C-alpha cells in the first residue's frame, strides 16, 4: 500500500463521516455541510455518548476546513470559518468566538486532536531489547485493566483485534493495541509501564503493530492531543506523520461530564 493509497482511504472515511466529498477536504475553500448518521463511521462515533450526527465538527487536511454541523448552525459556523485562514479556525482567540456562537445551542468545543498516518517510506522495524510478542484477542482477554487502558478499551472490547506486547523476563511492560474502528482503518493505542518509559519501547511496538496492520490490508492510524508531546513524538519516531486535525463540539452535559471524569 502506498502513501497515496493510505491518504485516499483516510479521506474517504472522513468524507463519509462528515457527509461531504473527499475532494472537499483537499479544496482551498472552507465548506459547511449538514451532519448525518452513517453506519460506516468510526465505532466510537456510533456508540453510547455518540457524536453522530455531529453538532459541530471541524476537519482540516491542510486545504480548507470542512465543518459538519446541525442544520441550524450552517450560517453561524460558515461565518466563523470565512472570517479567518483555515488553520486559524483551530486557534484561540478564534475558539472563544466559536464557543460564543455555539453557546445559545447548548454546545461547546470539547475535543481537539491531531491524527497521524504511516509513511511507508519511513515505517520500519525498530530495535527493542525486550521480547516482543504478537497477541490475539484470546491472548489479551485478561488485560483489560487500567495500566493498559490506552492500548485496549473495555467498553469497546469487541473492536480490539490485535496487540503487540513487550516483555521483561516474562512480565508485560508495554502494550500496543489496534482497534478496528471502521472497515478500512484500525486505530493504534499504546501504554508503557512508568519504569520502562523513554527507552524507545513505545515506538518499537507502534511501528511493529503498524506493519502488522498493513500486512492485513488495513490502514493504521494514530491519534494524539496536540498538547501530548510525548505521544506526538512517539508517532513521528514510529514512522507516522501528521495527516489531519479535528475539533469536535459536544453538548454541555457531555462536556461537564468529561470535566468531572465520569
Task: For the chain, give the number of residues.
Answer: 262
Q: Which residue in the block uniquely carries the three cell numbers 525486550?
A: 130
Beta-bridge mates of residue 165: 133, 175
- Indicate the DSSP class of residue 54: P
Confidence of residue 174 (pLDDT cuts 50, 70, 90): very high
3-state secondary structure 77-139: HHHHHHCCCHHHHHCCCHHHHHHHHHHHHCEEEEEEEEEEEECCCCCCCCCCCCEEEEECCCC
Confidence of residue 48 (pLDDT cuts 50, 70, 90): low
Q: Are 251 and 107 in contact (CB under 8 A)?
A: yes
pLDDT at 40 over 60: yes
| pLDDT the model gives residue 49 | 64
Assigned C-alpha cell, 247: 475539533
Classify 229 as helix, strand or coil: helix
- Number of H helices and E strands in the chain, helices first, is 6, 10
- What would you measure as the largest C-alpha separation in the chain, in angstroms? 60
Q: What is the mean pLDDT of residues 191-199?
A: 96
Reported as a single tens digit per residue, the pLDDT across 141-165 is 999 999 999 999 999 999 999 999 9
**C-alpha separations of 35 from 130, 143, 153 in Å:** 46, 36, 27
Whole-structure pTM value: 0.94
What kind and span of H or E run contains 205? helix 201-215
Q: Are 81 and 65 in contact (CB under 8 A)?
A: yes
Reported as a single tens digit per residue, the pLDDT across 61-76 is 999 999 999 999 999 9
Beta-bridge mates of residue 240: 118
Amino acid at each position: 500500500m502506498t502513501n497515496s493509497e493510505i491518504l485516499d482511504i483516510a479521506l474517504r472515511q472522513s468524507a463519509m463521516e462528515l457527509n461531504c466529498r473527499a475532494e472537499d477536504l483537499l479544496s482551498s475553500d472552507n465548506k459547511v455541510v449538514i451532519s448525518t448518521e452513517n453506519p460506516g463511521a468510526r465505532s466510537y462515533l456510533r456508540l453510547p455518548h455518540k457524536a453522530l450526527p455531529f453538532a459541530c465538527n471541524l476537519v482540516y487536511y491542510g486545504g480548507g476546513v470542512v465543518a459538519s454541523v446541525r442544520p441550524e448552525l450552517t450560517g453561524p459556523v460558515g461565518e466563523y470559518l470565512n472570517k479567518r485562514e483555515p488553520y486559524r479556525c483551530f486557534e484561540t482567540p478564534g475558539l472563544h468566538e466559536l464557543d460564543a456562537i455555539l453557546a445559545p445551542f447548548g454546545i461547546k468545543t470539547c475535543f481537539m486532536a491531531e491524527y497521524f498516518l504511516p509513511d511507508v517510506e519511513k515505517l520500519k522495524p525498530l530495535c527493542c531489547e525486550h521480547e516482543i510478542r504478537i497477541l490475539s484477542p484470546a491472548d489479551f482477554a485478561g488485560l483489560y485493566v487500567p495500566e493498559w487502558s490506552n492500548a485496549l478499551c473495555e467498553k469497546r472490547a469487541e473492536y480490539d483485534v490485535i496487540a503487540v506486547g513487550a516483555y521483561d523476563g516474562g512480565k508485560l511492560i508495554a502494550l500496543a493495541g489496534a482497534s478496528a474502528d471502521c472497515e478500512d482503518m484500525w486505530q493504534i493505542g499504546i501504554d508503557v509501564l512508568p519504569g520502562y518509559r523513554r527507552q524507545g519501547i513505545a515506538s518499537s511496538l507502534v511501528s511493529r503493530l503498524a506493519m502488522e496492520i498493513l500486512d492485513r490490508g488495513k490502514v493504521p492510524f494514530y491519534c494524539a492531543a496536540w498538547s501530548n508531546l510525548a505521544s506526538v513524538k512517539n508517532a513521528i519516531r514510529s514512522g507516522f506523520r501528521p495527516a489531519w486535525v479535528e475539533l469536535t463540539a459536544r453538548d454541555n452535559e457531555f462536556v461537564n461530564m468529561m470535566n468531572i471524569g465520569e
